[in-house]
Structure 1
Amino acid sequence: MYAVLTLIRYKKRFIYFALLAMALHRLPLWLNRRVRFYKLLGCGKGGTFSQTTDWQQWAVLVVMDKTELTGFSDKASLHRKAFGKFIPGWWRLFGCQTETFLLEPIEGHGSWDGKQAFGELPVKSDYEGPVAVLTRATIRRSKRSRFWEHVDAVSNEMRKADGFQFSVGIGENPWLKQATFSVWESKEHMKQFAYKMPKHADVVQKTRKEKWYSEDMFVRFRVVENWQE
């Protein structure tokens, strides 16, 4: 499996069309039989879980077989293979800036809307190079305040961590269905943050003990390609 994550930034005067795209772009993705899984996502401010929506930035994620995502020569040709013609044409029409990651899932656990979104994955692998990480969760309504009171401290800790390169908060619902996508110099750097930075390690323990989530997923990827505008 390969996953394609594209971040789309609209000009402020086109925010209405960004919102409209969240409805219109579902149909071509749903009709595309090559797409195994897809999500149209909003983005938060601050680079991680956030209740404050960034109305100019949005994201689209698709998962396809590797064989469907070969033979491309640049970002534009990858966009056509992953999203068809209509969606990239929409982005060009409104002068959007895009950043795209081509990702190979290597290990993980959990589910997204009850599905193994990235196929059957081992919990651990031998890969130790640069990684991207997707952490997503459906937060229980009764645990929402407990979750949000810990977010800022963990976010600040992540941005200061050795090996941290980039992160963005994405989600389907800014209060209950949230995800963070982050990129790290190596898997070891990411593990040092995840398990040894005190605030994050403390939150991991609390999420399990207090059962903050009704569903969660944690997936690590090898970054095959990354194109910025």
Structure 2
Amino acid sequence: MASFHLIRYAGVDAMRYMAFDRPVLRGTAGLSFWRLLGTGRGRSMTPGADLRRWALFAVWDGEPALDAFLARSPVAARWRDEAAESWHARLAVLSSRGGWGGRDPLAAAAAVPPGGPGGGPVAVLTRASIRPRRLLAFYRSVPRVDGELRRQAGCLASVGAGEWPLARQATFSLWTDADAVARFAYRTAAHRDVIGRVRGEDWYAEELFARFVPYGTEGTWDGRDPLRA
């Protein structure tokens, strides 16, 4: 199983935690994969950064490992004690294709039936390592896709994130159901055009596309839990 954590601090000095938390996470039992991510100001992959908001995507050996981390890790303790706002979701894998750092971090994760239990909300993680010569084309395409995303009634929440400024980008989004994801991915003009250009012009050196059933959410994201609103 996986988890996603979105943390907002009161000040921009929180960016130091990107360095301080790495050795702690490397030593966390049962944590098989993780990435600390900066976030953008918009709902998708934009060049602007929100220096007060950070994210962690993690893959765990099982629920007990995540429970132990949340109960005993100094990273999780700081989230509770110092963060102005935090939101946490447990994620059961629906599907995953592609790689992150040369492997599929979700390959060994237990999958749930297609459509998920009850066919309810779906979380989507997209991640890409953009080829340097394609960065300009990529960021020129972002505003149209971002505009379409904002107009999607089925999108409950979305955040752009990244490991590296500009070149290693990701999005995490929540949707009412799998049909809403498909409508945006394949039936909106700007997104269809980008998909075609990604393939035809070889924009990405590496990419990952994964869908999850989000469950066990806790906390707030921009003042609310988007899955309970």
TM-score, normalised to structure 2's length? 0.88
Q: Does 94-103 or 134-143 show the bigger shift?
A: 94-103
The one-letter code of the counterpart of 2:163 is E
Pair 1:84–1:204, CA change in 2 (3 A): farther
Q: How many residues align?
A: 217
Residue 140 (structure 1) aligns with: 131
The structural deviation recorded for 1:95 is 3.9
Query: Who is 2:184 aligned against?
Result: 193
Closer, same or farther: CA 119–84 of 1 in aligned 2, 3 Å: farther
Q: Name the CA distance, whole Å, in 2 between partners of 1:84 and 1:26.
A: 16
2:110 corresponds to 1:111: no
Pick one of 7, 15, 18 that aligns with 1:19. Answer: 15
Stretches of structure 1 lacking an aligned partner (at least 5 in a row): 71-77
Q: Secondary structure at the match of 1:25?
A: helix
8 Å Cα contact 2:29-2:65 kept in structure 1: no
Residues 46 and 196 of structure 1: CA distance in aligned 2, closer, same or farther (over 3 Å): same
2:182 and 2:111 map into 1 onto residues whose CA distance is: 14
Kept after mapping to 2: 8 A contact 1:130/1:185: yes
Give the CA RMSD over aligned residues: 2.1
1:93-112, aligned counterparts within 5 Å? 93-112=81-100
How has the CA–CA distance of structure 1 residues 174 and 198 changed in structure 2, closer, same or farther, with 3 Å as cutoff? same
- Give the unaligned 5+ runs of structure 2: 221-229
The structure-2 alpha-carbon separation of the partners of 1:34 and 1:53, relative to structure 1 and needing over 3 Å to count, comes to: same
What percentage of aligned pairs have identical amino acids? 32
> Where do 1:119-198 residues align within 5 Å?
119-120=107-108, 126-127=114-115, 128-198=119-189
Residue matched to 1:75 = none
1:217 corresponds to 2:208 = yes
Distance 1:173 1:180, change over 3 A: same
More deviation in 42-51 or 123-132?
Answer: 123-132
2:96 touches 2:106 (CA, 8 Å); kept in 1?
Answer: no
Distance 1:198 1:125 in 2: 30
Q: CA deviation at 1:115?
A: 1.7
Deviation of 1:220 (Å): 0.3
Aligned amino acid, residue 167 of structure 1 = S
TM-score by length of 1: 0.88
